[in-house]
A and B are shown apart, each in its own frame.
Chain A
Amino acid sequence: MVGQPPAGTILLETRGLSKYFGSLKANDGIGLVVRAGEIHAILGENGAGKSTLMKLLYGYYQPTEGEILVGGAPVAVHSPRRGRGLGIGMVFQNFTLIPAFRVWENVALFLESWGTDRRNLVDRIASLSQLYGLDVDPLAFVRDLPMGDRQKVEIVKILAAGARILIFDEPTSVLAPHETENLFRVFDRLRTEGYAVLFITHKMPEVLRSADRITVLRKGGISATLPRADADRNLLVKLLVGDQSPDWSDAGPRRRSSVRAGAPALEFVNVSCRTDDGRPGLQRVSLSIQPGEILGVAAVSGNGQEYLGDLVLGLRPAAEGSILLGGKDLASARPAEVLRRGVACLPEDPLRMGAVSGMTVRENLILGHQVSYWKAGGWSPDTKKLETDAESTLMTAFVQSPPSLDARAGNLSGGNLQRMVIARELGRNPGLMVSYYLTRGLDLSNAQAARDLVLSHAERSMAVLFVSEDLDELFALSDRLLVLHAGRVAGTFEPALTTPQAVGLLMTGAAHA
């Protein structure tokens, strides 16, 4: 191992770094100092320029103006490979691993040269992973690893390549809560060893938990850089969104005024189903949602919540029990019919399940009810209707700066894609919305806008099956809370009459109701 410079040494610096796309200033005069032995968080809303900055540092983009200094000397990072050579390593939001390969093979692929001694490389990975508390098995197949472990492989990969500055792009967006905590422990370890960690995020609690220094980006420029000790939640919010800061303090559990009496919008009666490989998925789950009611489903990922939506949408048959939609049995209804009956869905993975990446935003906005956009039996597109509807649908979920209708969905940022799908699904004024991870990937103001949008539809009698991993959000929005553990209902609660701690224990199976 190369000896690390003493803590506090400046490893990387930018001066007046700017990147323009046409007239848009994605980054404007960024001056950033990254030191050894420091965890530096870059905090910003969607579109504040975080990703652009990281791509400039890694050599994916070239700056329009300004310079980058590594170890005090100005450098031209004209390609990611050059960035790697300078000791800059990047862990992307979507990992760049080959699932069919073993861990050590993935690492070998990434290195400029690793000799041919497999044993040697395997040992090196093992010792690196032990040193930094990564706990990675070099011989495991990547496809068998959960997301949290794959991320660790990415880290080992760039450490093995000799990176001194580690850049993380939204590292926690794919992680379960306990995996997030592990990642922060790895950060701590890297700090101790004199690495510089730069991580970009829009999640404030993570910044407050782990960063030593915080840089807040707003509209492409730096709104402030401050040490952790000087930062608190209110200050950061102010720096993030300027003066018109949203009402961050949650209003507490919401009133149940909108919940309508009468027949439930959705009812599960002792429903069981199987997973793809035939194991029990859900077991004798019963639930019901009234029109206007939000039923929160609290579950750690992999406890059967993904089957709730599949069952409602007719994508997976129930092995036993019955599902009633508006009082009528849903037995073996196909997806098209379920959608016609007023069901909308925000899936757990919008890019894979809810959007067509090769199509434009405009085309994506009509997916699922495209029939009404053609005349003459399907031969002639109703261009006028398409224009007006697309525009107005999109505006419901985009408070500001909506993407172009002609942009390809695959080019949208995660947050914008999420908002596009929300806009489409709610644009149909559904009677029932199955919502997975509503605010995943959304920044503060957009997350609030998404919650408000769902609440306003609920006021107008939409029923919501609201699946989330975020307990704060579940408590703030749900009329009732259902906890799912190992495919079974572990309990149902009024949010006002329980605590996040009690629900958390049930979710993890640490307690029984």
Chain B
Amino acid sequence: MPEAQNRWFMGWGASIVSLVLSLASALVLFSVLLLTSGKNPLDTYASIFGSTLGNGFGFSEIFVKMIPLLFTALAVALPARLGLVNVGGEGQLQLGALAAAAAALAVGAGTPFWAGIPVTLVAGMIGGALWALVPALLRAKGWLNETISTLLLNYVAIRVVDYFVFGPLRDPSSSNVPQTTKFADGFLWPAFAGRIHIGIVFALAALLLFAVVINRTRWGYEIRAAGSNPLAALRHGLPVTAYILIILCAGGALAGLAGTGEIMAIQGRLRPGFSPSYGYLGFLIAWLAGHKPLRILFMGFLVALIATGGDSLQIDQGLPSSTVDILMALCLFMVLADAWRPDRLEVRVRSWLHRKNGAVS
């Protein structure tokens, strides 16, 4: 029996066809929901895509949203290659932002940008990494599964940020709005082309680094081996425990950068609720993309597009903006369910042909 069969469904073309079919079926299912609430699906899709792809400002906003999403997707994808499920992107993002804000406020005005931006980067990464350290330690000890601990710490993280923003870091001059003072100019991430900022360079660099480390380096090899079969990895002398600690913290650091970018480039100060669930959307992207670098780029764009378009739904269609969450969930289910996976497609076509040809039964 041949070990690897050269069949048509192994190719790239087939997996793209499969992906398009999955996303299309999500759109069809979503149409049903729209019809039940009395909306014309075509109008809704025209609104989502028209406000983003057909509009210069909307188009640039896709990339603005893509920056944090790429970071949070990587924060999930990297640990996932080691077999870890990091649902804590949102909390790590919050703590990254908090650490960056604290650093910027502590170092203070007059810092030049060539020192200020690195300070925010380092602080943001440390904040995110520390928030991931607790789940990492618990998991490395074998005490608690990281899926649960990272998820639950998200809710704690939001309260921690609240505490500082309402308390020690609160801008005394804004009596009614809880927020920090504006950061000094040296710490702010510069923007170009609308609101697209320097973070896009950092995010793409992180994506490239991820691709190189996972696919080319020895550590990537060891991570993939330990992720696929931890027992075999352990038996062959790989430091699996050390990898759990380092990789989960590295994921936290990446999510921390997402939060840092949001406050340093978009908000200019730290205030509660600055992240519209970028951490969870990153999780969605990573799983849609199967934790593969190039697909993360594509799926990141797609999710950013839907999220951006969702903002216009409220205005154009009078639908709650959270309606698009349903669409995203449907996309995730359809892709993860793999209903259109090429080999399954082949089986279906076959059995359909059999029925059609009236095979003897």
- State whether the Cβ of A71 lies closer than 8 Å to any Cβ in chain B: no
B40 within 8 A of partner (CB): no
**Contact assessment for A335 and B228 in the assembled complex, using a CB-CB cutoff below 8 Å:** no
Task: State whether B228 touches A359 (Cβ < 8 A).
Answer: yes
Q: In the complex, what residues of B have CB within 8 A of residue A75's CB?
A: 360-361
Q: What is the interface residue range for chain A against chain B?
A: 35 or more
CA distance A334 to B238 in the complex (A): 10
**Contact between B1 and A368 (Cβ–Cβ < 8 Å)?**
no
Q: Which residues of A contact B217 (CB under 8 A)?
A: 374, 378-381
Complex CA–CA separation, A336 to B237 (angstroms):
4
- Say whether A73 faces chain B, with CB atoms less than 8 Å apart: yes
| B2 close to chain A: CB less than 8 A | yes
Indicate if the CB atoms of A352 and B216 lie closer than 8 Å: no
Contact A357 B360 (CB under 8 A): no
Q: How far is the CB of A131 from chain B (nearest CB, A)?
A: 30
Contact in complex: B231, A353 (CB < 8 Å): yes
Nearest to A411 among chain B residues (CB) is B3
From B221, which residue of chain A is reached at the shortest CB distance? A370
A281 close to chain B: CB less than 8 A: no
Q: Residue-by-residue, is A311-343 near B (CB-CB < 8 Å gives 1, otherwise 0)? A: 001010000000000000000001111111000
Which of these, B222, B229, B359, contacts A357 with CB under 8 Å?
B229
Interface 0/1 of B136-180, CB less than 8 Å to A:
000000000000000000000000000000000000000000000
- Decide if B36 is an interface residue (CB 8 Å cutoff): no
Minimum distance in angstroms from A309 CB to a CB of chain B:
9
B225 within 8 A of A: yes
Contact A26 B229 (CB under 8 A): no
Chain A interface main SS type: mixed
* Contact in complex: A335, B236 (CB < 8 Å): yes
Shortest distance between the CB of B212 and any CB in chain A (Å): 8
Contact of A359 among B225, B354, B360 (CB under 8 A): B225
B7 to chain A, nearest CB (A): 9
| A355: chain B residues within 8 A (beta carbon) | 229, 232
Partner of B4 from A62, A334, A406 at Cβ < 8 Å: A406
**Residues of chain B at interface, number, CB under 8 A:** 32
CB closest residue in chain B, given A50 = B1
In the complex, which residues 1-57 of chain B have their Cβ closer than 8 Å to any Cβ of chain A?
Answer: 1-6
Residues of B within 8 A of A185 (CB): none
B350 within 8 A of A: yes
Inside 8 A of B228's CB, which chain A residues have their CB?
A: 356-359
A345 in the interface (beta carbon within 8 A): yes
Instruction: Give the distance to chain B from A49, nearest Cβ to Cβ, in Å.
Output: 7
Q: Which of B216, B221, B361 contacts A363 (CB 8 A)?
A: B221
Q: Establish whether residues B3 and A403, one from each chain, have CB atoms under 8 Å apart when the complex forms.
A: yes
Is B351 an interface residue, CB under 8 A from the partner? yes
> Quick one: which of B347-361 are within 8 Å of A by CB?
347, 350-351, 354, 359-361
CA distance A160 to B5 in the complex (A): 35
Question: From B357, which residue of chain A is reached at the shortest CB distance?
Answer: A76
Alpha-carbon gap, A335 to B1, bound state (A): 36
Residue contact A78 to B359, C-beta cutoff 8 Å:
yes
Residues on B lying within 8 angstroms of A by beta carbon are 1-6, 216-219, 221-222, 224-225, 228-229, 231-239, 347, 350-351, 354, 359-361
For the complex of A and B, 6 pairs with smallest distance between CB atoms: A336-B237, A368-B236, A378-B218, A76-B359, A358-B228, A374-B218
Given contacts A76-B359, A82-B361, 11 further A-B contacts (CB under 8 A): A21-B2, A49-B1, A75-B361, A76-B360, A334-B237, A335-B235, A339-B237, A353-B232, A355-B229, A370-B218, A411-B4
Q: Could you list 6 examples of A-B contacts with CB < 8 Å?
A: A76-B354, A359-B228, A363-B225, A371-B218, A374-B218, A378-B218
